[in-house]
Chain A
């Protein structure tokens, strides 16, 4: 399963996004309230445990969380950072 799919599954099962939401890689998650003010911290907890990375307060920006593709990119960057 790709990182995108793991994030997508989490959103479907734990953030309560119904099956009617398409959830493509570039679907705007915050714009459409799929990730809300509570969901963002659940998402951060998920990313940290699922991908074994640390998300800092400074990472909490739209560029990193706007879409599933953005989140996957953040995960890649964090993993690369921690590998060095």
Chain B
């Protein structure tokens, strides 16, 4: 049987290399046989609880071998996984759970109090499955914390399941996962991706990067971030080892380098900001990390000077820029073969297999090389839509603008690009108020909506200030009713939006400058003009 569903990749790896290391973190190492067995037990328990094919099951736990087993377990039950950022505020997660109807959540005993907060915030949870063993008594008692009105299942129920896959049938057009991204109207939107969407990218990536059973892959991105799709599924597709990067290695460059060295990682994939940290303060000497053969980056622009430095420090590694909004997985790729000069942009490159990309000018014509256009993506990596939001789906999934008769849709990215003389695309910027900061995709409108919810905020505008290290820093301009201060607004935002979206700087004004049409003049604010200081 060919692998036409994501979990077939795990089944095949467990059959070919049952004893090989599949997932490794600080505490544990699971072999492929163990990972598949755990996933099958999770799947069987979900099916026994009545989880139906196509149902959404939340993953609400730190990235761990249990989480990876849980993710595959959801897929094996025929359901779709929805990774929830366990650092995000309960209110936002409860919105997501209600939006896509999450009734069942996979979690850990340590997260149970937080699960209670989700329920209190309105998440329609009926059942929690605790994947870790701690807190379980020998006599079969469940973990000590109770969540009112919610059934808690755990290791005892899991252990009672058979370790073989449950008899569930789905096809590759079925939903595999939903990734929620920032929404400009103040509510996150759920990007629906099918098995086929992900496999198209994974199959290309495994071939292009020649991922083999000998490889040792990093797992840096959290599961709610689409970079994790490569990590988890390319590792299984190749039967390679997946090494879960601990939090300190994302924060401290020396710890990142130590982690890569200690585990002899061969393939690293992350957003650029961590690579910049490593280049600047990682203490690397040229030729360190000799086993590292490929460095992949995606999510935002990597400054040429930092990439040059990394390429000089790691001359034995190949460097690849991957591009694609969550809605398209990865859709283009460029291998950087020479250390770039300061003035060289790093191209996003060309379309991957089974994908077409093209740019249209404002008058709807196909952009010629050298011309600026908006990028459209067509092919089997493109999402099937936003969960429960036909209007927004229809705005971005449009009938083929080039008028071909097969009837598929193209995704309108909102990204402006230009093709160079060599046929490579270059990313130039956004059409709208979406920004990136440390690889996170942020709609400034979502931050404004969070601030507006505060009764003392009369008007506000959130602008991005370009920053070399993290791409963008966020400043909020606020006209206020009372003497509400920065700390209060930070705390207020912290209950609504993830920490990476909270403005770092607050500027208070009597009122905000307006354009001739009466809209807040964001450009004037960003340039530091107008507005009277009310502090």
Would B253 and A60 count as touching, CB distance under 8 A?
Answer: yes
The answer, yes or no, to whether B142 is at the interface (CB within 8 Å) is no
The answer, yes or no, to whether B283 is at the interface (CB within 8 Å) is yes
Task: Classify the secondary structure of B's interface with A.
Answer: helix
Task: Classify the secondary structure of A's interface with B.
Answer: loop
The answer, yes or no, to whether B491 is at the interface (CB within 8 Å) is yes
The answer, yes or no, to whether B4 is at the interface (CB within 8 Å) is no
The answer, yes or no, to whether B495 is at the interface (CB within 8 Å) is yes
| Chain B residue nearest to A62 in the complex (CB) | B248
| Chain A residue nearest to B439 in the complex (CB) | A37
| Chain B residue nearest to A61 in the complex (CB) | B254
Would B487 and A57 count as touching, CB distance under 8 A?
Answer: no
B254 partner, pick from A19, A39, A57, beta carbons under 8 A:
A57
Interface of chain B residues 231 through 279 with chain A (CB within 8 A): 247-248, 250-255, 273-274, 277
Q: How far is the CA of A40 from the CA of B438 in the complex (A)?
A: 13
Minimum distance in angstroms from A74 CB to a CB of chain B: 13
Would A19 and B273 count as touching, CB distance under 8 A?
Answer: no
Would A38 and B253 count as touching, CB distance under 8 A?
Answer: no
The answer, yes or no, to whether A7 is at the interface (CB within 8 Å) is no
Would B247 and A33 count as touching, CB distance under 8 A?
Answer: yes
Q: How far is the CA of A16 from the CA of B438 in the complex (A)?
A: 17
A16 partner, pick from B251, B283, B470, B490, beta carbons under 8 A:
B490
Would A37 and B274 count as touching, CB distance under 8 A?
Answer: yes
Total interface residues on A, using CB and 8 Å?
A: 23
B251 partner, pick from A18, A19, A30, beta carbons under 8 A:
A30
B252 partner, pick from A12, A32, A33, A60, beta carbons under 8 A:
A60
The answer, yes or no, to whether A23 is at the interface (CB within 8 Å) is no
Would B248 and A30 count as touching, CB distance under 8 A?
Answer: yes
Would B283 and A40 count as touching, CB distance under 8 A?
Answer: no
One digit per residue, 1 when the CB lies within 8 angstroms of any chain B CB and 0 when it does not, for chain A 9-28 equals 00011001011000000000
Q: How far is the CA of A11 from the CA of B114 in the complex (A)?
A: 22
Q: A13-B487, A61-B255, A66-B248 are in contact. Are A33 and B470 (CB under 8 A)?
A: no
Would A65 and B252 count as touching, CB distance under 8 A?
Answer: yes
The answer, yes or no, to whether B227 is at the interface (CB within 8 Å) is no
B502 partner, pick from A12, A13, A16, A40, beta carbons under 8 A:
A16
Q: How far is the CA of A24 from the CA of B273 in the complex (A)?
A: 29
Q: Please, which residues of chain B bring their CB within 8 A of the CB of A39?
A: 251
Minimum distance in angstroms from B508 CB to a CB of chain A: 16
Q: Please, which residues of chain A bring their CB within 8 A of the CB of B494?
A: 16, 18
Minimum distance in angstroms from A11 CB to a CB of chain B: 12
| Chain A residue nearest to B473 in the complex (CB) | A38
The answer, yes or no, to whether B281 is at the interface (CB within 8 Å) is yes
Q: A30-B247, A31-B247, A33-B247 are in contact. Are A18 and B254 (CB under 8 A)?
A: no
The answer, yes or no, to whether A35 is at the interface (CB within 8 Å) is yes
Q: Please, which residues of chain A bring their CB within 8 A of the CB of B281?
A: 57, 60
The answer, yes or no, to whether B500 is at the interface (CB within 8 Å) is yes
Would B438 and A37 count as touching, CB distance under 8 A?
Answer: yes
Q: Please, which residues of chain B bring their CB within 8 A of the CB of A48?
A: none
Interface of chain B residues 486 through 535 with chain A (CB within 8 A): 487, 490-491, 494-495, 499-500, 502
Would A33 and B253 count as touching, CB distance under 8 A?
Answer: no
The answer, yes or no, to whether B481 is at the interface (CB within 8 Å) is no
One digit per residue, 1 when the CB lies within 8 angstroms of any chain B CB and 0 when it does not, for chain A 27-68 equals 000111101111111000000000000000110111001100
Q: Please, which residues of chain B bring their CB within 8 A of the CB of A32?
A: 87
One digit per residue, 1 when the CB lies within 8 angstroms of any chain A CB and 0 when it does not, for chain B 45-78 equals 0000000000000000000000000000000000
| Chain B residue nearest to A41 in the complex (CB) | B469
Would A60 and B254 count as touching, CB distance under 8 A?
Answer: yes
Q: Please, which residues of chain B bring their CB within 8 A of the CB of A65?
A: 248, 251-252
Minimum distance in angstroms from B353 CB to a CB of chain A: 33
Q: How far is the CA of A61 from the CA of B250 in the complex (A)?
A: 12
* Interface hub of B273, B494, B502 (most chain A Cβ within 10 A): B494
* Interface hub of A30, A38, A66 (most chain B Cβ within 10 A): A38
Q: A33-B247, A58-B283 are in contact. Are A40 and B252 (CB under 8 A)?
A: yes
Q: Please, which residues of chain B bring their CB within 8 A of the CB of A61?
A: 252, 254-255
Q: Please, which residues of chain A bring their CB within 8 A of the CB of B500?
A: 36
B491 partner, pick from A18, A38, A66, beta carbons under 8 A:
A18
A-B contact pairs, 7 of them (CB 8 A): A12-B487, A31-B247, A33-B499, A37-B470, A38-B438, A38-B470, A61-B255
When A and B form their complex, which 10 residue pairs have the shortest distance between CB atoms, in order from nearest?
Answer: A62-B248, A18-B494, A57-B281, A33-B87, A60-B252, A16-B490, A30-B248, A18-B491, A40-B251, A30-B247
A-B contact sample (5 more), CB < 8 A, given A37-B470, A41-B469: A35-B251, A39-B251, A40-B252, A57-B281, A61-B255
